[in-house]
Amino acid sequence: MRLASIVLAFTSAVAVGQPAFAQQPISGRGAGRGGNTIAPGESCPPGSTEIRPRLCREPDFPAPSILDYRPHSTLTTPAHKVPQAKYPAIDFHGHPQGLLGSAESIASLGTSLDSLNVRMMIAADNMSGERLLRAVSVINASPKMKDRVRVLAGVNFSNVGPGWAERAIKQLEADVAAGAVGVGEIPKSLGLTIKKPDGSRLKIDDPELDPIWDACARLKLPVFIHTADPQEFFEPIDSKNERWLELALFSDRRYPPERFPKFEELMTERDNLFRKHPKTTFVAAHMAWYANDLGRLGKLLTDYPNVYTELGAVLYDLGRQPRGAHDFFVTYQDRILFGKDSFQPEEYPSYWRVFETHDEYFDYYRGYHAFWKLYGIDLPDEVLKKVYFQNALKLTPGIPQSGWPR
């Protein structure tokens, strides 16, 4: 009878997620059953955690996996949902893909953009030739969308060798005549995987590519370029890697050193490109993958006045350093462009909330990207306007320049 009631008490405590306090010896906070000691500088062994200096303890219950541990924050602070941007935005990093295929689909794109106050989408889908012509004709045929979508031209990096540059420039000029307003998104495969005909890796700063970048300067086309991927994707996938879950979920994001160049090697090649072509305007996508090191990004922008940066898909790094990110945006307010990357309309409001509020400790929209919460960085209106649309207008003469707020 007595045993049965103890078992019952234990099970009901576990059922509501509480430890069974009654079963524990009472001898002061933090005491109890002890643990294993470690030497100064050592880490606790797997399965245990440091409860006092150099004292490790294992939990009484099996720990949930990182997939299943979803604690609810008890913090209560003012929260402001921001469904629409405060000023009309230009999404410089658009991937509308199939939505530029027909009158109906482009109309549905317009409805989504209206709900977010995104006035203009720049399609960075690397289109060229026939595909670009088809997209432009769908855009031009839409009374509602003809001034609200512009396309970037792609560059084909296969068979780089004698004669390649002339062919590529000819195609680019044709794409500009068809309506392209810039170049991109130059994909991360430039540097990571694309090979030259002799089998060697096509480096980002390969001299055979020089004529195309110079042509972009002559044609006043900004070059939107994505180089490498987050630094952690190049690191060992272990319990210290802050992108462990993402790397475990997506096999194509792993860049082991035996098969890929190192992150720093790609950064060096990209910076050589920026340095070699000072008259060409480059927009480094994803804040050049330095959103986790804004000092380094600031140095890049200071060293290369021809370089701008775009903030798609790095909100998790901006929102976890609200004071530093605020100051960075104020300092470099003329050099940062809004962009979203993957087109998921329900994710844009997280951007508006980070940029426009000083809300605290709220969820990012993708748990596997970030095991932490975000904070608003509360940008001044003048900075919001530059980041949302003015900088993109300035760099890209092909975007309709009238009708924007002052």
Give the count of alpha carbons within 13 A of 143, CB side only. 0
Residue among 224 and 263 whose Cβ is closer to Zn ion: 224
Q: How far does CA 156 lie from the centroid of its chain? A: 24
Q: Smallest gap, in angstroms, from Cβ of residue 227 to Zn ion? A: 12
- Which residue ranges make up the site for Zn ion (CB under 5 A)? 185, 341
Residue among 123 and 384 whose Cβ is closer to Zn ion: 123
* CA Rg value for the chain: 26
Whether cis (ω within 30° of 0) applies to the bond prior to 185 is: yes
- The answer to whether 224 and 290 have CB atoms below 8 angstroms apart is no
Residue number of the CB atom closest to Zn ion: 185
Q: At residue 348, what is the residue type? A: Y
Residue among 125 and 356 whose Cβ is closer to Zn ion: 125
306-332 burial code (b ≥16 CB/10 A, e <16): ebbbbbbbbbbbbbbbbeebbebbeeb
Task: Name residues whose C-beta falls within 8 Å of residue 345's C-beta, 6 or more positions apart in sequence.
Answer: 112, 115, 116
Q: Smallest gap, in angstroms, from Cβ of residue 283 to Zn ion? A: 11
Residue among 318 and 379 whose Cβ is closer to Zn ion: 318
Residue among 137 and 342 whose Cβ is closer to Zn ion: 342
Q: Smallest gap, in angstroms, from Cβ of residue 48 to Zn ion? A: 42
Q: Smallest gap, in angstroms, from Cβ of residue 317 to Zn ion? A: 17
Q: Which long-range contacts (CB under 8 A, 24 or more apart) does 243-246 make?
A: 243/369, 244/66, 245/66, 245/67, 245/367, 245/368, 245/371, 246/368, 246/369
Residue among 175 and 341 whose Cβ is closer to Zn ion: 341
Q: Smallest gap, in angstroms, from Cβ of residue 337 to Zn ion? A: 13
Nearest to 386 by CA among 90, 14, 43, 51: 90
Q: Smallest gap, in angstroms, from Cβ of residue 215 to Zn ion? A: 22
Q: Smallest gap, in angstroms, from Cβ of residue 93 to Zn ion? A: 5
Structure tokens at 307: 């370089």
Classify residue 66 as exposed, middle or buried by CB count within 10 Å of its CB (0-12, 13-18, 19+): middle
93-110 burial code (b ≥16 CB/10 A, e <16): bbbbeebbeeeeebeebb
Residue among 317 and 341 whose Cβ is closer to Zn ion: 341
Residue among 185 and 229 whose Cβ is closer to Zn ion: 185
How far apart (Å, rounded) are the C-alpha atoms in residues 314 and 351? 10
Q: Smallest gap, in angstroms, from Cβ of residue 312 to Zn ion? A: 7
